[in-house]
Amino acid sequence: MRRMQVEGECAPELAKLRAVFEENFQRHGEVGAAVSVCIDGRPVVDLWGGLARREEGLPWERDTRVCMMSVSKAMAAICVHLLAQDGRIDLEAPVARYWPAFGNAGKEHITVTQVLSHTSGVLDMDALKRGQLFDPALAAAALEAQKPRWPPEKKRGAYHSATYGIILSELVRRVSGEPLDDFFERRVNGPLGTDYHFRSRDEELGRTAHLIERRFNTLRMLLLEEPYSMRMAMQWKAMPPLGKPGFNSPVFLRSGFPSGAGTGTARGVARIYGELARNSEDAVLLRPAAVERVSRAEWEGRCWTTGQPMRLSPGFMMNTPGGAYFGPGQRTFGQAGRGGSFGFADPERRVGFSYCTNRLSETGYPDARSQRLVAALYDAVSRA
């Protein structure tokens, strides 16, 4: 078996993690990937390897970017929490305080926290036609007219797969006066020197890895995933046709769609989560009071959209009793993206982690490749 070249740096005490990363290419079907870890705000792992574009034989380089799908939801949530920390947003206030027309159609009492924790019931955009999902003005107007799936006072969790980023993006724009990407650049990328954008610029497309989609199995969908696959599909029904390139299409990557089109590096996402995990009063991002809020579950149960058990804080996924994707901690918070890329912050152990891949997983959740990396990381952390 050909040995795949892995590049980058890894602290000696985390040599097992590097060995596992290499083994993923040799035995577990990895094509192109990167993993990065920060502890106490200090980078200790930054590895990459494989092929960024399998069809071209293009290697994954240090600055290769990849679309991490819903990882962008957490990046948008960080922006809202920064505005709350600044005193410009009250998380317990209605969204309509900052976006009056959002209060139409029975949504006048839906709070910012309900949106952040996927409990608002605003899952759909019925007024949108196919092809209009990436138009911010049309999407915002559709949300203003949309009725929630259930009364806001009925606390029920349902993953806001498409609407989540749109609501938060509009909220950030209205409060800060800046588009979400500009706000993120000024408040996150700039101070931290990170590389993550909701909207890919033309010059970045050439260094963006191509995603390799899982095979679509209609029988499996009908037998195992109904009705949840249809519930998810209905949330995305206004998606423009992307053609053969699919999520590699420049139409998608340039869209700036804040619920899933963001691209970046594992290094950048780990640096962001590492700064959150540092949990310090001198933090560039969120200070301890805000970290305490996002590391406390707001809702737990079986998700109406996905059918999966979920535990959600305001802005982030958390571990569930049956799925410790984000390491062993109960206060750990992060976000997984469709296909397997994800990142998290562990404020108890001051760990920030990110893994990204271009071979999308079969499950849509972090799979064995990344979970073996997380296990190796915490084995080393426990020994230290």
- In this structure, how many other beta carbons lie within 10 angstroms of the beta carbon of residue 371? 17
CATH number of 6-67+203-383: 3.40.710.10
Residue 135 binned pLDDT confidence (cut-offs 50, 70, 90): very high
% of the chain at pLDDT higher than 70: 95
- For tokens 């079969």, what's the residue? 362
136: confidence class by pLDDT, cuts 50, 70, 90:
very high
What is the average per-residue pLDDT within 251-280?
96
d(CA 337, CA 154): 27
Confidence tier at 228 by pLDDT (50, 70, 90): low
Q: What is the mean pLDDT of residues 280-303?
A: 96
pTM of the model: 0.95
Of residues 375, 337, 366, 370, the one with CA closest to residue 33: 370
Tokens 């960024």 -> residue: 52
Residue 219's pLDDT band (cuts 50, 70, 90) = very low
DSSP-assigned beta bridge partners for residue 38: 43, 352
**Rounded CA separation 375/339 (Å):** 19
Whether 359 has a pLDDT exceeding 50, the answer reads yes
CB 110 within 8 A of CB 95: yes
Q: Are strands 333-336 and 342-346 parallel, antiparallel or unpaired?
A: antiparallel
DSSP codes joined into one string, 109-127: T-BHHHHHTT-S-----TT
**What radius of gyration do the chain's Cα atoms show?**
20
Strand ranges inside 40-139, DSSP E: 42-53, 58-59, 66-67
Q: Comparing C-alpha atoms, which of 32, 71, 67, 74 is closest to residue 263?
A: 67
pLDDT of residue 42: 95
Question: What pLDDT is attached to residue 101?
Answer: 98
Confidence tier at 338 by pLDDT (50, 70, 90): confident
Instruction: Give pLDDT, residue 370.
Output: 93
Structure confidence at residue 88 (pLDDT): 98
At 211 the pLDDT is 95
In the prediction, which pLDDT does 218 show?
Answer: 43
Residue 324 neighbours by CB under 8 Å, 6+ apart: none
Sort strands 299-302 and 333-336 into parallel, antiparallel or unpaired.
unpaired
Nearest to 158 by CA among 114, 126, 128, 127: 114
Per-residue pLDDT, averaged over 129-140, amounts to 96
Report the DSSP pairing between strands 316-318 and 351-357. unpaired
- For the chain, what percent of residues have pLDDT higher than 90? 80
**DSSP H helix total and E strand total for the chain:** 14, 13
Residues in CB range of 97: below 8 A, 6 or more apart: 90
Q: For 298, which DSSP code?
A: S
| Domain parsing of the chain, residue ranges | 6-67+203-383, 76-182
Instruction: Give the model's pLDDT for residue 1.
Output: 40
Quick one: pLDDT at residue 222?
Answer: 44
Contact in structure between 25 and 1 (CB atoms under 8 Å): no
Q: Which residues pair with 316 in a beta bridge?
A: 313
pLDDT category at 367 given cuts 50, 70, 90 is confident
**What is the reported pLDDT for 215?**
59
Number of residues assigned to the chain:
384
Does the structure show a pLDDT above 60 at 225?
no
Provide the pLDDT for residue 251: 95
Residue whose token pair is 């590097």: 18
Dihedral sign of CA atoms 261, 266, 267, 269 in order: positive
The residue behind tokens 């769609």 is 257
What stretches of 244-367 show up as alpha helix (H) in DSSP?
A: 250-253, 266-278, 288-294
Contacts of residue 232, Cβ cutoff 8 Å, sequence gap at least 6: 159, 161, 305, 306
CATH class of this structure's domain 76-182: mainly alpha
The answer, yes or no, to whether residue 3 has pLDDT greater than 70, is no
Q: Summarize pLDDT for 34-67 with one digit per residue, the tens.
A: 999 999 999 999 999 999 999 999 999 999 999 9
Higher pLDDT: 35 or 305? It is: 35
pLDDT given for residue 221 in this prediction: 44
Ranges assigned E (strand) in the chain: 6-10, 32-39, 42-53, 58-59, 66-67, 196-197, 263-264, 299-302, 309-313, 316-318, 333-336, 342-346, 351-357
Average pLDDT estimate for 164-169: 98
Contacts of 180 (CB under 8 A, 6+ apart): 76, 79, 168, 169, 172, 173, 198, 256, 258
Mean pLDDT, the chain, as a whole number? 92
Per-residue pLDDT band for 363 (boundaries 50, 70, 90) equals low
